[in-house]
A and B are shown apart, each in its own frame.
Chain A
Amino acid sequence: NAGVTQTPKFQVLKTGQSMTLQCAQDMNHNSMYWYRQDPGMGLRLIYYSASEGTTDKGEVPNGYNVSRLNKREFSLRLESAAPSQTSVYFCASSTTGQLTSGNTIYFGEGSWLTVV
């Protein structure tokens, strides 16, 4: 079972470059999420998508865009990378309406992004 798959796993970017992080899930989940993890800050929500065709801003959306391409895929784009976007990025998915009912969220393995 693949679960949640993120690519790439590692990337080094120069300031001002753009890139897209790809995420796909094979669990037929409606909801998908992008989090970033920074030391001492925990996991902070960047964007989320409750269903295909909808996206919403999370806690730290500035500098990012997302696309919910279809039910399986949710991509995160950095249009002009900045050193402050150096982080570990996690994609996650869940069954809509189930988090508050006690079902877990499923995470990808993370993408390490360094902006120099």
Chain B
Amino acid sequence: AQTVTQSQPEMSVQEAETVTLSCTYDTSENNYYLFWYKQPPSRQMILVIRQEAYKQQNATENRFSVNFQKAAKSFSLKISDSQLGDTAMYFCALPTLQGGSEKLVFGKGMKLTVNP
């Protein structure tokens, strides 16, 4: 079964610093996607970044980038120049296909606090 593990329940960082959120996963698929979602205090789920396993180049979206290590099944999120608005829960997610139906498996999340 596909699983997603986020082992750090909580982190804090000072504004303007860089922080890395870790995620490991398990899948039997050869090609797949991985996602990071952000959930601010409003509870809205926002897609931050996605990575295709076949692509060797790590995905980047402005201040957000990933360090994707396929062999190690590791998918960490790096936030550069942290801003107060980055304070949120962050979820790593893996799409799975089971019995012809797709679903999204989430990690338990990590609470990030950016301090002024």
Residues of A bordering B, CB below 8 Å: 31, 33, 35, 40-45, 48, 50, 56, 58, 88, 90, 92, 94, 96-102, 104-105, 107, 109-110
Residues of B bordering A, CB below 8 Å: 6, 9, 29, 32-33, 35, 42-45, 47, 50, 52, 91, 95-97, 99-109
Contact of A41 (CB < 8 Å), options: B44, B102, B108: B108
Instruction: Flag if B101 contacts A56 (CB, 8 Å).
Output: yes
* Tally of contacts, chain A with chain B, CB under 8 A: 65
A64 CB, nearest partner CB in chain B, Å: 16
A94 CB, nearest partner CB in chain B, Å: 7
Instruction: Flag if A50 contacts B101 (CB, 8 Å).
Output: yes
Q: A40-B9, A90-B45 are in contact. Are A100 and B107 (CB under 8 A)?
A: no
Measured CA separation A75–B98 after assembly (Å): 22
Instruction: Flag if A99 contacts B102 (CB, 8 Å).
Output: yes
Of chain A, the residue at the smallest CB distance from B97 is A100
Of chain B, the residue at the smallest CB distance from A105 is B104
Instruction: Flag if A100 contacts B106 (CB, 8 Å).
Output: no
Instruction: Flag if A100 contacts B95 (CB, 8 Å).
Output: yes
Instruction: Flag if A40 contacts B108 (CB, 8 Å).
Output: yes
Instruction: Flag if A48 contacts B103 (CB, 8 Å).
Output: yes
A9 CB, nearest partner CB in chain B, Å: 10
The 6 A-B residue pairs whose C-beta atoms are closest, nearest first, are A99-B95, A42-B108, A107-B45, A50-B101, A99-B102, A102-B33
Instruction: Flag if A104 contacts B103 (CB, 8 Å).
Output: no
Instruction: Flag if B91 contacts A99 (CB, 8 Å).
Output: no
Question: What residues on A are CB-neighbors of B96 within 8 Å?
Answer: 100
B98 CB, nearest partner CB in chain A, Å: 9
Question: What residues on B are CB-neighbors of A33 within 8 Å?
Answer: 103-104
Q: A40-B9, A42-B107 are in contact. Are A104 and B91 (CB under 8 A)?
A: no
Q: A42-B108, A107-B45, A110-B43 are in contact. Are A99 and B103 (CB under 8 A)?
A: yes
Instruction: Flag if B106 contacts A42 (CB, 8 Å).
Output: yes
